[in-house]
Chains A and B, each alone.
Chain A
């Protein structure tokens, strides 16, 4: 037993610096979660401010529209998570079919570009190119005979516009990850499948996808932490009153409350709520992945 402890000692030492930094800068501030149950009086400090129990949570729940905002958030975030898995996988598969190495590499580089531009810059560009009257996109749709769509102003379309533009901005990262996984599949597996008479399609279904599965599971589970993050910066820069009905999300709501009266209690309560939900989601999927595939994600 003792020998085991000694053998494991270097591991503890390796983790120690990171452990301490995380303790100081992540765990110590977590004491602030207490503010979710208080009305913060700064001069009294975090631990001596008046206790209000669940009031901050009740306040949020009783605000008119909170439920629809919650629904919007789930819907937008969920769609983003789904698109964030499906699109990169598909694109990686297609890109993998391209044989010209230079072409492949250039595409890989280019699709990562939008990631570098902030939503503030992109919103200006998007309002122009998505305009139903003068925009580039509707011009294209029009030449295909599709009537123009008010992507940013039609409440039915708005959530999908959010998902579309977010995916467009971020799918490059996922594609790179999956492509990396693809290139390391043992070619022998394809040869074997080909000998069995499997066509391209069958090979993809029987060899490629199963090989990608662990990666897909890992990325999905990690993204579950975002189940209530519908993307504050994006929504804030793109939404407008006519799409509040479908576009208002928890973070924008809290931002407006915060802007009005710097209500930290409520902000913290909302944050705590989001954390608990994400934690449950990740915990459950971690266990599921372990039970079903006997695979530990982290």
Chain B
């Protein structure tokens, strides 16, 4: 390396750091905005004074949110949904991805199965038949309505099967020669070697479950059983108040106050923000495909 290159390299690096930091700030903006609003007085917010820093700092909106039993209940339902739904997602993803990662001569039906699953990413019967099927299986208005219909995340299956493919064949063959069953090979060799990919996909599943709102709204028969995001949806959406009785309008103003909305949004994002950096260390090796590995 000559000196000249090193100077231009340093300039590049400096600009690069600056650029990356600027992008990061741009990405942080909305969240900081929401946070600042949640800590400000509603007077300051409606006067449009709040952007990144709270004005008239106070915790009123948070005490309002905490005093709402609906919020706590919905929060718990969402936690339960993640606790049950994510392990099930991962179990099924692993069980499908492993056989599909085999070549056709090892597993003759892999292509047929692969298309069987991929087709469902593209075709659907639409909302009504989906609803009727779930109703037919008798899980409507139960916890399972939010778990079973989406239990197989096909996109994740494809990512994981590519990771499995990248594992050296020799390991698998050695295990077979040692007399290990397919199941033992999967759980004792393939899965541990794929820990980073499993961690990454786990995060994706957590985010999906935590953020879904539509199924809760449609499949639950009582607002009391809504998960957090469905509940939030009902609070945040703008409403035409023209059909409301005059008494209700003043009441509505309290619930939809922008500071308390912001506080609820922020509390709802928190758990994912908390889990994310924790799982993130696996991302470095997250999803890698066979040919990438030298």
A interface residues, Cβ below 8 angstroms from B: 4, 8, 10-12, 14-15, 17-19, 21-22, 24-33, 35, 40, 46, 91, 94-95, 97-98, 103, 105-118, 120-122, 125, 129, 136, 168, 172, 176-177, 179-181, 183-186, 188-189, 199-200, 211-212, 214-215, 218, 222, 225, 264, 267-268, 271-272, 275, 278-279, 282, 295, 297-298
Which B residue sits closest to A213, measured CB to CB? B291
Cα–Cα, bound, A30→B236 (Å): 33
Q: Return A210 CB to nearest CB of chain B, in Å.
A: 9
Known A117-B34, A185-B294, A215-B292; judge A30-B102 contact (CB<8 A): no
Q: Return A192 CB to nearest CB of chain B, in Å.
A: 11
Which B residue sits closest to A278, measured CB to CB? B122
B107 touches A11 (CB 8 A): yes
Which residues of chain A are near B31, meaning CB under 8 Å? 113-114, 116-117
Q: Return B11 CB to nearest CB of chain A, in Å.
A: 13
Partner of B9, one of A168, A177, A200, A218: A200
Which residues of chain B are near A46, meaning CB under 8 Å? 129, 132
Q: Return B29 CB to nearest CB of chain A, in Å.
A: 7
Cα–Cα, bound, A298→B265 (Å): 37
User: Can you sample 26 A-B contacts with CB below 8 Å?
Assistant: A8-B106, A10-B181, A11-B98, A14-B183, A15-B95, A15-B99, A18-B151, A25-B137, A29-B125, A29-B133, A31-B129, A32-B129, A35-B128, A95-B20, A110-B28, A116-B273, A118-B236, A125-B29, A168-B26, A179-B284, A181-B292, A186-B293, A225-B121, A279-B123, A295-B291, A297-B162
A31 touches B289 (CB 8 A): no
Cα–Cα, bound, A189→B293 (Å): 11
Which residues of chain B are near A8, meaning CB under 8 Å? 106-109
Which residues of chain A are near B128, meaning CB under 8 Å? 32, 35, 40, 264
Known A30-B124, A282-B118; judge A222-B155 contact (CB<8 A): yes
Known A11-B99, A25-B133; judge A271-B126 contact (CB<8 A): yes
A125 touches B33 (CB 8 A): yes
13 extra A-B contacts, CB within 8 A, seeds A30-B123, A103-B20, A264-B128: A18-B92, A21-B92, A25-B151, A28-B129, A35-B126, A107-B21, A109-B276, A114-B30, A117-B31, A121-B34, A186-B294, A200-B9, A275-B124
B120 touches A113 (CB 8 A): no
Dominant secondary structure of chain A at its interface with chain B? helix
A31 touches B273 (CB 8 A): no
A12 touches B109 (CB 8 A): yes
